[in-house]
Amino acid sequence: MLVGSGILGKAGGILTRLGFDTRPIMVTNARVMRLHGHALLASLENAFGPIPVIRIGDGERFKSHATLAKIYEGLFRAGADRCSWIIALGGGVVGDTAGFAAATFMRGIPYVGVPTTLLAQVDSSVGGKVGINIERGKNLIGAFHQPRAVLSDTETLRTLPARELTSGLFEVVKCGAIRSEPLLGYLEKKLAAILDCESSAIAHVSREAVRIKAEVVAGDERDVHARMHLNFGHTVGHALEAATAYRRFKHGEAVAWGMIAAAEFACDVSGLRTDEARRLVRLIQRIEKLPSLRGIPAERVWRALQRDKKSSGGRIRMVLLPRLGSAEVCDGLDPARIRRFLANFLARGCPH
């Protein structure tokens, strides 16, 4: 993984030095192509010759089987074979979908990630999780397929819409909440600079988040033990996304609501102090005014939560915080209690 400013324009040389010697096929979307595609293409074509480009839709709802089929078809049209490789330029949707296409095309071809959102840089680029959503829920179909390389150009973050940037910041908040109270402190202190996309501040939190993720994931490719801590905020977060058909919230926003819910729940269950919970909630609220929970039926969220892959053998599992900067997996939580909590949480809209 390479992080830095202006990496897009050097990608061809970097990848050549990493041993790639055939042309890749690029997967991206129209918006990212317009903003950053030509810089990357110029560099790649200089190294590898003409690069076919597959454009997919923009937005979480395009992380679908239809998009996957479109990528396969694009690969065939481009004459791809098992010696081909994919370069995915874009956010998490592009990375996860193109990565899953790479995992399953002719039983697996390599891919390289060029994440252009903060979320994708800190989230999708570690761990090798790739996959698509289906109606039943998020990421229910997928694989583990490590990218051969990840090139993160911090300059691309400057072109992000505000909600994309803050959505990524919630992922950073999550990393702080489960592993590093000082990271939360840094976010609190430098929030204005970060929201202004000041390069050194963004680079610091981005690197910290990736470091924490990589540390958690190291030696633990599947979802067991420590790795589950990265699911903090995801149990309720995924359920909110599914219950709103992935249209109301960005992923990070749903996780932010999930962290608020988990923090409040943790005050009862895992002994998180009320003032600590309040501190986390305040930081989240300073980052962004989250889309409202209004009108989301509690029953629908509850059903989505039960279906979600976090539940194991029928029991409910959640990641909770005993204190800020430390996480624990709570298994076998009482379903009835969580159901009641959810109904209250949704009815109130926002706690604290």
Q: What gap in Å lies between CA 284 and CA 187, rounded to an integer?
A: 10
- Asked if 134 touches its own copies (CB under 8 A), the answer is yes
Q: What gap in Å lies between CA 37 and CA 2, rounded to an integer?
A: 18
Q: What gap in Å lies between CA 277 and CA 224, rounded to an integer?
A: 26
- Of 106, 214, 218, 350, the residue at the interface with its own copies (CB under 8 A) is 106
CB of 139 to its own copies, least distance (A): 8
Neighbours of 299 (CB within 10 A): 13
Q: What gap in Å lies between CA 195 and CA 166, rounded to an integer?
A: 8
- Asked if 103 touches its own copies (CB under 8 A), the answer is yes
- Asked if 245 touches its own copies (CB under 8 A), the answer is no
Binding mask 28-67 for its own copies (x = CB under 8 A): -------------------------------------x--
Burial of 146 (0-12, 13-18, 19+ CB in 10 A): middle
- Of 314, 336, 347, 349, the residue at the interface with its own copies (CB under 8 A) is 314
CB of 73 to its own copies, least distance (A): 8
Nearer to its own copies, 103 or 175 (CB): 103
The contacts of residue 225 (CB under 8 Å, 6+ apart) are 329
- Of 64, 116, 133, 139, the residue at the interface with its own copies (CB under 8 A) is 139
CB of 72 to its own copies, least distance (A): 7
Return the bridge partners of 329, or none. 319
Identify the helix (H) or strand (E) that includes residue 144: strand 137-144
- Asked if 72 touches its own copies (CB under 8 A), the answer is yes
- Asked if 140 touches its own copies (CB under 8 A), the answer is yes
Q: What gap in Å lies between CA 38 and CA 27, rounded to an integer?
A: 13
CB of 48 to its own copies, least distance (A): 13
Nearer to its own copies, 145 or 279 (CB): 145
- Of 82, 282, 286, 348, the residue at the interface with its own copies (CB under 8 A) is 82
Q: Could you tell me the two tokens for 262?
A: 């988990």
- CA of residue 137 relative to chain centroid, distance: 15
- Asked if 220 touches its own copies (CB under 8 A), the answer is no
> In degrees to the nearest 10, what's the CA dihedral of 292, 129, 157, 205?
90
- Asked if 144 touches its own copies (CB under 8 A), the answer is yes
Q: Which residues bind its own copies (CB under 8 A)?
A: 22, 65, 69, 72, 76, 79, 81-83, 103-108, 129, 131, 134, 136, 139-144, 223, 307, 309, 311-314
